[in-house]
Structure 1
Amino acid sequence: MAFTERSAATRSAILSAARKLLAERGYEGTTIRAVAGMVGIDPSMVMRYYENKAGLFSAAIDLDLNLQEVEPPAPEKVGEVLIRHFLSRWEGNLADEAIMLLLRSATTNPVAAERIRAIFTSQIASFVVRVARCDDAQATHRAGLLSTQLLGLAFVRYVVELEPIVSMDVEKLVHDMAPVLQYYLAGDLTVR
């Protein structure tokens, strides 16, 4: 195996171990030494690739919301398409451990909170620019409003597990949430 292949395999093993430990122990309970121990390498190797715990955490939760895969629908269906995509991203075929880890960690860890802010600010705003065809300032405003709904739903459904939201089927959530998202994406947000 070539050096770069070993390096890629080591990086992958480190990230896998980090995700597992972060999910089990959280940010505070996960150490560079524990990650290295799971992989069977010296802690200095983890530091070599990721510098410090914050760098490792950022790499372990490098999250793509996959919004580039959402084809722009008819303008009146954007809210519905967006909520379906997010539900798929959280619990469907696009779900992964990184998204749940980030959500759970963001409430107690400033590094995770900053990471979720960066992800939602850039990726949601880019989506809004693409589907709503608005300028950057308006896209940022709309993205912020959308994020309140999407992150709020995720927090209530997957972290707090508040009924009846946790038991609602996807179709009911889509029906109830799509009009709100539609308004934030395409509604008149001017102050009257």
Structure 2
Amino acid sequence: MRRSSEETKAKILAVARERFAADGYERTTIRAVATDAGIDPAMVMRYFGSKDRLFAVAAEFDLRMPDLGNVPADRLGAVLTAHFLDLWEGNEALMILLRTGVTNEVAAERMRDIFATQLGPIVMSVSRTPEDAFLRAGLAAGQILGLALCRYILRLPPVVAMSREEIIAWVAPTLQRYLTA
């Protein structure tokens, strides 16, 4: 059965996300993605041009940052902690980025770009000292990414066992300090 070009592209992306998540960037090949998608490798190259470009599109992610304009200043850390927990739960694209970002420069750059362009401006808008907003955003990202790595990738038992409320209670004060102290 023939697929439309949009269906083919969607199938390639779905398979690529699975492959990148399971095998990482280094071990994922265009040929393996094509085989899993039931197409010729030339089709993957036709739609995406390179493995780097395929990865960039497969790992495209919108953090869907909340509007913090109406959030009381003393609740910012809790709201962002809850937001990121919601994002990480079962999100394949973020898992791909996190897994591969620690060993691959293309993935690391993608992660840096997402956090700089999406988290940075949010932190700048709530920071009392805008001149160090990107430092604050970097520290907040470190806290968020460290939590995600421990809970969802490494699956450290004490962190995995924590409830959502417990994580917020522990992590929110640190994020709060990074954002507003």
Q: TM-score, normalised by structure 2?
A: 0.90
Higher alpha-carbon deviation: 77-86 or 23-32: 23-32
Determine helix, strand or coil for the equivalent of 2:103.
coil
2:172 pairs with 1:178: yes
Distance 2:133 2:59 in 1: 25
Identity %: 47
Determine helix, strand or coil for the equivalent of 2:9.
helix
Letter in 2 for 1:141: L
Letter in 2 for 1:7: S
1:155 to 132, 144, 149: 149
Q: Relative contact order (C-alpha < 8 Å, sep 6+): which is higher?
A: 2
Residues 92-103 of structure 1: matches in 2 within 5 Å? Answer: 95-103=90-98
The question of whether the paired residues in 2 share the 8 Å contact of 1:70 and 1:85 is answered with: no
Letter in 1 for 2:52: A
The question of whether the paired residues in 1 share the 8 Å contact of 2:29 and 2:51 is answered with: yes
2:25 pairs with 1:31: no
**Counterpart of 1:123?**
118
Note the C-alpha offset of 1:21: 1.4
Higher alpha-carbon deviation: 56-65 or 108-117: 108-117
Note the C-alpha offset of 1:7: 2.2
Q: Which runs of 5+ in 1 are unaligned?
A: 188-192
The question of whether the paired residues in 2 share the 8 Å contact of 1:80 and 1:174 is answered with: yes
The question of whether the paired residues in 1 share the 8 Å contact of 2:30 and 2:51 is answered with: yes
Note the C-alpha offset of 1:134: 5.5
**Counterpart of 1:63?**
61
1:107 to 85, 102, 106: 102
Note the C-alpha offset of 1:32: 0.8
Deviations along 1:83-112, one digit per CA (max 9) or x if unpaired, are: 000111111xxx421111111111222211
What number of residue pairs does the alignment pair up? 178
2:162 to 153, 168, 175: 168
